Amino acid sequence: MLRWLPLALITLVALWLRTHELTRRPMHADEANQAVKLGSLLETGHYAFDPRDHHGPTLYYAALPIAWVRGEKNLASLSETSVRLVPAFAGTLSVLLLAAAAMPLGRWPALASAAFLAISPPAVYFSRYFIQETLLATCILAVVVSVQRWLRTGATRWAIAAGFCAGLAQATKASAPLFLVIAALAWSLARLVKSPSSAVVLPTAAPLPAPGPTPRCQLYPGRALLLAGSVGLGTAALLYSSFLTHPTGLVDALGAYSQALTRFGATAAPTGHEKAWGYYLRIFGWFRSGGLVWHQLVFTVLALAGILITLLRRDRWCFGVAVYTVTIFAVFSGFAYKTPWHLIHFVPGLAVLAALALARLAQQPRGGLFATGAALLVGGTLWQQTWLTSFLRPADQRNPYAYVHSSADVLKYRALAEAAVARSPLAPIRVISEEYWPLPWYLRTLPQVGFWSQSPPDANGSLVITSPAQLAAVRASLHGPYRESILGLRPGVFCIVLTPDP
């Protein structure tokens, strides 16, 4: 039992960081949009995949049992805590999976890898964020662990597990094949590396098995690959087709790639999310913004040391991890479209490489003391940044992870709307704007709320919320005097709130 105590403690820390005060941050527009879609699934039992504006269905179906257990049966009763528990649990599971995946390093380096992921600032932040990315990263790790077990044992159940997790990844986000292809490429290149053994030999590592015949699964992999592929395609098909109730969802799943080319291809119009190639490197480095310092430099330097050690020592397994991590970094840095939630895909590999560096340092004379000090330094800096980004300033526009985030003002709209309903219960509340998310989430339980992208002929209501672009048209459609005030929506976007004079 004591053997598992360190991993249990790391997991508990990961769970606490991901579930503590989940309502501390206002809902991001993307979270609100997906939560409303989940509310529709709760109320109607029906889901139809839309390749134009949404990713795969796994996130919504994963949220259903949590909502049911918490007694939430419709959109009005659905809570921020319930929806955010999905990525929180997935992020915690990823810590356990990374510990399992990193066992070729040895027990203590595997625990260090898990600990770094448990307290990683981007991993924690986006494990508290109701979007698909954390779920996707967890599914990819689950594929890796399952393939490792299959290669070692040849057991069919691990091939089935790998296919199932790959299917979940595909049904989570259409970018899943990119990660799987890069992982396969890294594994293939690692096999070409000539080293004393195919495993990392560290004092803390488990003894290598005695040489023996090549496992049958590696001599004849066709059956297992066919089985895994069939399970993966079947899993993805079930989810995209809403468990066979919406067959056109299968066609729409393929259409997601043409939509992606239309929106993000070389000839596509700018989306506003274009960034310089060094965007991700900067976040993993050190920079100052508005008087606050954001950094992961010590962690990154340790991971870079792990890459250097891998190149010098030519350990196959670590070489594969390094190739995968560097390739993911390079590919996503090469895309013009960049958002901070992609950072979570870099963290597991960096965590393993940082743990490798610690393990090698511990092998040197008096290295144990230096390795302990380095681990404490890295852990302390990661914890400080996680506390700053996820708890102290989670919606601050200077926070590199709070990307075009809803401002604190969004919490004020609800009180104004409730006062308007109390004043005029039968009069409508009108939101007239090109940009209004996450307001549908915050106004979801109130009656007589409507949303327009352009001003209707009669814009009167107990409360009118409009954009600066629509203000002139709205004023022309009002009868009687209204008081005007301004509330923010997110950085650079604000609304005009019009309240009838008594």
Q: Residue 266, CB half-sphere, CA atoms under 13 Å: how many?
A: 1
Q: Which domain holds residue 475?
A: 410-500
Tokens of residue 335, six digits: 């895309």
Cis ω before 270 (30° cut-off from 0): no
Which pTM value belongs to this model? 0.93
218 domain residue, yes or no? no
| C-alpha distances in Å from residue 372, one per residue of 207, 303, 307, 318, 415 | 24, 16, 20, 21, 51
pLDDT of residue 263: 63
| C-alpha distances in Å from residue 328, one per residue of 168, 183, 440 | 20, 9, 36
pLDDT of residue 403: 94
pLDDT of residue 199: 43
pLDDT of residue 112: 97
Q: Residue 377, CB half-sphere, CA atoms under 13 Å: how many?
A: 14
366 domain residue, yes or no? no
pLDDT of residue 266: 60
Name the domain count of the chain. Answer: 1
Nearest Cα residue to 111 out of 5, 2, 6, 1: 6
492 domain residue, yes or no? yes
449 domain residue, yes or no? yes
Nearest Cα residue to 99 out of 116, 89, 111: 111
pLDDT of residue 163: 97
Q: How many of the other CB atoms lie within 10 Å of CB of 329?
A: 18
Neighbouring residues of 447: CB distance < 8 A, sequence distance ≥ 6: 421, 425
325 domain residue, yes or no? no
120 domain residue, yes or no? no
Is 265 in a helix, a strand, or coil?
coil
Mean pLDDT by 10 residues, the chain (502 residues): 88 98 95 95 90 86 97 96 98 98 93 98 98 97 96 91 97 95 94 63 41 52 87 95 90 79 66 88 94 96 96 88 96 93 97 96 88 95 98 95 94 94 93 94 94 93 95 93 94 93 82
DSSP string, 198-255: SS---TTSPPPPPP-PPPHHHHS-HHHHHHHHHHHHHHHHHHHTTTTT-THHHHHHHH
Residue carrying structure tokens 């509310």 = 39
Q: Which ranges constitute the DSSP H helices of 336-490?
A: 347-363, 367-387, 410-423, 439-442, 471-476
Is 29 in a helix, a strand, or coil?
helix
461 domain residue, yes or no? yes
pLDDT of residue 207: 38
pLDDT of residue 219: 52
Q: How far apart are CA 388 and CA 358, in angstroms?
A: 26
What are 262-292's pLDDT values in tens digits? 666 666 677 778 899 999 999 999 999 989 9
Task: Tell me, rounded to whole angstroms, the distance of Cα 364 from its chain centroid.
Answer: 37
pLDDT of residue 268: 63
Q: How far apart are CA 97 and CA 103, in angstroms?
A: 10
111 domain residue, yes or no? no
